Structure 1
Amino acid sequence: MSKKPKRIIEHALLEGIGPISAERLLALPENEWGLLRSAITDARRARPPAHVARCLMCSGPVFIQARAFRGFRLPYFAHFKGGDATCPWHTGETLHPDDARALQYGGAQESAAHRMLCEQIAELAAADGRCVSAEVSKYLPPTDNARGRYPDVLIVRRDTPKIAVEIQLSNTFQTEVSARCLHYEREGVGLLWVLYGLDLQADDLPQSFRDVVLRHRGNAFLLDDEAVTASHARRTLVLKCYLRGPDGRFETGRLVSLDDLTFSSKGPPYLEDRVTPGLLARGEAARETWRMALRGRSPDFSYADLRSPAFLTANEQLCGLVPGLRQWQAETFQGQWMFANLIAVVFSALSHANGTFRNYASRQDNVQALLNSKLPSENLQPFALIMQEILQRCGADDLLLGSVGTHLDRALALGDGNFVLYYEAPWSAIAVLLPELFDPLLRFELETLDALPAWARPKIAATAKSAVPPVHPAHQPQSLAENHGFAHHPG
Structure 2
Amino acid sequence: MARQPVQRAEEKLKRIIEATLFEGGIGPVTARELVEMPEAEWGILRDRITDYRQGRPAGVVCRCVMCGDPVFIRARRKNGVPYPLFSHFQGGGLRCPWHHGANEHPERLREEQYSGQQESQTHRLLCEQIDTLAKLDTRYISSVVNAYRPPTESEHGRFPDVQVVWRDFPECVFEVQLSRTFQTEISARCTHYEREGVALAWVLFGFDPQRAELPQSFLDVIRRHRGNAFVIDRASVSASYAQRTIVFTCYLENADGGFDPPRLVRLDELTFPEEGLPYLDDRISSALIDRINRARRPCFDYLQSIEGVSYGVEVDSAERQRLLVELRAVASPLSSWETTKEHEESATLRLICCVFSLISEANRKPRIYGTKQPNVVAMLNTWLNSREEVQRCALIFEFLLRSTPLTHLLEGSLGKHIARAKSVMDGNLVLAGEPEWQILEHLVPEIFHRRVREQLRYLSKLPPWAEHEDLPNPSYEPSSLAI
TM-score (ref. length: structure 2): 0.86
Pick the aligned partner of 2:436 from 397, 401, 426.
426
Aligned residues: 464
Is 1:199 the counterpart of 2:208 in the alignment? yes
Indicate yes or no: 2:225 matched with 1:216: yes
Partner of 1:464: none
1:321 aligned to 2:330? yes
18-27 vs 168-177, greater mean Cα deviation: 18-27
In structure 2, C-alpha distance between the alignment counterparts of 1:409 and 1:203, rounded to whole Å: 56
Counterparts of 1:212-291 in structure 2, within 5 Å, are 212-291=221-300
Structure 1 residue 84: Cα displacement:
3.8
Partners in 2 of 1:91 and 1:230 — Cα distance?
A: 50
Native 8 Å contact 1:280 1:487 kept in 2: no
Which residue does the alignment assign to 2:166? 157
CA contact (8 A) 1:286 1:318 kept: no
Identity of aligned residues (%): 46
User: 1:262-304: CA deviations, max 9, x gaps?
Assistant: 2222321112222223323443223211212222336x52214
Structure 2: how far apart are the matches of 1:356 and 1:266? 30
1:231–1:237 Cα contact (<8 Å) kept: yes
**Structure 1 residue 45, shift from structure 2 partner:** 1.5
TM-superposed CA distance for 1:176, in Å, is 0.8
Q: Is the 8 A contact 2:335 2:436 kept in 1?
A: no
Distance 1:158 1:320 in 2: 56
Is 1:489 the counterpart of 2:481? The answer is yes
Query: Counterpart of 1:457 in structure 2: which amino acid?
Result: E
The answer to whether the 8 Å contact 2:43/2:223 transfers is: yes
- Residue 413 of structure 2 is matched in structure 1 by 403
Task: Judge which range, 367-376 or 179-188, deviates more.
Answer: 367-376
**Contact 1:154–1:165 under 8 Å retained in 2:** yes
Task: Tell me how far apart the structure 1 counterparts of residues 13 and 340 of structure 2 sit (CA, whole Å).
Answer: 49
- In 2, the alpha carbon distance for the partners of 1:265 and 1:73 equals 30
Structure 1 residues 223 and 371: CA distance shift in structure 2, 3 A: same
In structure 2, the residue corresponding to 1:323 is in which secondary structure? Answer: coil
DSSP 3-state at the match of 1:77: strand
Separation in 2, partners of 1:118, 1:247: 33
Distance 2:324 2:58 in 1: 46
Cα-to-partner distance string for 1:15-61 (whole Å, 9 max, x where unaligned): 34344333332232222221111111111211689762222332222
Q: Aligned residue for 1:11? A: 19
Q: Distance in 2 between the 1:148 and 1:404 partners?
A: 55
Q: What is the deviation of 1:252? A: 1.7
Q: Matched residue of 2:176: which SS?
A: strand
Q: Distance in 1 between matches of 2:30 and 2:348?
A: 33
Report the counterpart of residue 440 of structure 1 in structure 2: 450
Unpaired segments of 5 or more residues in structure 1? 462-485
Contact 1:57/1:87, CA 8 A, preserved across alignment: yes
Match of 2:459 in 1: 449
Query: Can you give the 5+ residue segments of structure 2 that lack an aligned partner in the other structure?
Result: 1-10, 472-477
What is the aligned partner in structure 1 of residue 402 from structure 2? 392
Shift in CA distance, 455/18, structure 1 to aligned 2, threshold 3 Å:
same
TM-superposed deviation, 1:216: 1.0
The structure-2 alpha-carbon separation of the partners of 1:487 and 1:390, relative to structure 1 and needing over 3 Å to count, comes to farther
Alpha carbons 1:375, 1:381 under 8 Å: kept: yes
Q: Distance in 2 between matches of 1:276 and 1:171?
A: 27
CA contact (8 A) 2:312 2:370 kept: no
Contact 1:454 1:488 in 2 (8 A): no
- Calculate the aligned-residue CA RMSD, in Å: 3.0
2:154 to 145, 148, 158: 145
Shift of 1:448: 2.6
**Paired residues for 1:464-483 under 5 Å:** none
What letter is aligned with 2:446?
A: E
More displaced stretch, 52-61 vs 220-229: 52-61
1:130/1:157 contact within 8 Å kept: yes
Cα 1:455–1:360 shift into 2, 3 Å: same
1:368 Cα deviation after fit: 4.4
Task: Give the match's secondary structure for 1:134.
Answer: strand
| Whole-Å separation in 2 of the counterparts to 1:156 and 1:488 | 39
Q: What's the offset of the Cα at 1:330?
A: 5.2
The 1:279–1:366 alpha-carbon spacing in structure 2 relative to 1, beyond 3 Å, is same
- What letter matches 1:396 in structure 2? L
Counterpart residue type for residue 277 of structure 2: P
* Compared CA separation, residues 49 and 417, structure 1 to 2 (3 A): closer
1:182 to 191, 213, 220: 191
Distance change (3 Å), C-alpha of 1:25 and 1:340: closer
How many Å apart are 1:227 and its aligned residue?
0.7
1:63 matches 2:68: no
In structure 2, the residue matched to 1:118 is: 127
Bigger shift: residues 44-53 or 33-42? 44-53
> Structure 2 vs 1, CA of residues 370 and 140 (structure 1 numbering), >3 Å: closer, same or farther?
farther
